[in-house]
Amino acid sequence: MLQMKNLKLILKDGTQVTGQSFGHELGPNETMDGEVVFNTGMVGYPETFTDPSYAGQILVVTYPMVGNYGVPAEKAMDLGKVSQRLESLKIHLRGLIISEECEEESHWQSKKTLAEFLKRHKVPAIKGVDTRALTQKLREHGVMLGKMAPESFKAKGKLTFNDPNARNLVAEVSPKKMEIIEPEGRAKKTVALYDCGIKHNIIRSFLERNVRVIRLPWDYPLSELKEKYDGVFLSNGPGDPKMAEKTTESVKWAMKENKVIFGICLGSQLMARAVGAKTYKLKYGHRSANQPCIDLVNHKGERCYITSQNHGYAIDAKSLPKGWQVWFENANDGTVEGIRHKTKPWFSVQFHPEASPGPEDAAFLFDEFIERMRG
């Protein structure tokens, strides 16, 4: 039996944790930088790892065992390059940290183990780590820059850490050209969809509702789009919303044209920035499948939805201009989870109504968007 090599995680504050390597093998002097964050979800790791919003991040999973049901096939649908079960066509993590790996998976749809999945996408991973203790540290300090390296690695001089949020991560994960995706049935409506690092279940959610999708790169000028459409959708995505200024400019144009607009996650932040509101970085973000969000508008604070989330930035409620209102609020920390205009057809949510993974309590928001497109 081959002896498993050890990897270590070095945090910017000097903390080091060591465990066994079970993903992509790093060379003797090879390292992997990223922003170290944590996710508290109990299931849904294939969907989580393929979510483009994790670009630039090293993920710590708090659930003690990962890999028990393996990974499904990675086949793309005939209707465009949309995965059937995963959230993109690759893993977007920079690295993975877990407590225990389940080496023998069991599920009728499984085609490979977690380790095989990670190796195929060249993602290093460490197991045998006290991930809950590491999470406590991140909760107290906040997300931190880190570096994965072989146990024998020694820095030559001062150790430096690259901040992924200083890059335009949206530009890295967004498609390079426009693509039109047709539903199987007769299209009822057409949506101009900004792909800033979209989860594929958002696209699937539109196709299932017989909505034709015009998939746009993040920097496509909406004013130049010749195809006819009924509404504008702003997707999730990684990094600082300030970096996606070209998308924000198109949102401003769409508002001047009085288009119907719906945003999710990063899309919510971009909508806020388009009207002059401010965004800020959260201490450790929300990454889980059980975040409670209170509807302050439709149910006057008497209805709470359990939601799937993955974001590190939020909207400053006090900076919203006249005519706008906070729609949803996080029951745990009071942060903004959704905004909407009082009279215009513009609304967005910070959480993921498409789930995948997580509860589907808020999937009705897609139907509300489609109804608004009907005028």
Pairing between β-strand 57-61 and β-strand 95-97 as defined by DSSP bridges = parallel
What's the Cα-to-Cα distance from 169 to each of 164, 215, 282, 370, rounded to whole Å? 7, 18, 18, 29
* Nearest Cα to Cα of residue 47 among 310, 235, 311, 291: 310
Give yes or no: 265 in active site: yes
Which tokens sit at 69? Answer: 């049901």
How far is residue 332's CA from residue 159's CA, in Å, rounded to a whole number? Answer: 36
Residue 353 φ then ψ, to 5°: -65, -20
Annotated active-site residue 224? The verdict is no
Q: Is the dihedral of CA 209, 192, 350, 311 positive or negative?
A: positive
Catalytic residue among 24, 200, 286, 352: 352
Q: 105, 265, 286, 341: which is the annotated catalytic residue?
A: 265
> What whole-number distance in Å separates Cα of residue 244 and Cα of residue 172?
11
Query: What span, in angstroms and rounded, lies between the C-alpha atoms of 73 and 84?
Result: 9
User: DSSP class of residue 358?
Assistant: S
Residues 6+ apart with CB under 8 A from 86: 46, 47, 50, 72, 74, 200
Residues 6+ apart with CB under 8 A from 78: none
Is 92 designated active site? no
> Is residue 271 a contact partner of residue 251, using CB atoms and an 8 Å limit?
yes
What phi, psi does 307 have (nearest 5°)?
Answer: -130, 160
The crossing angle, in degrees rounded to 10, of helices 245-256 and 266-274 is 60
Residue numbers annotated as active site: 265, 352, 354
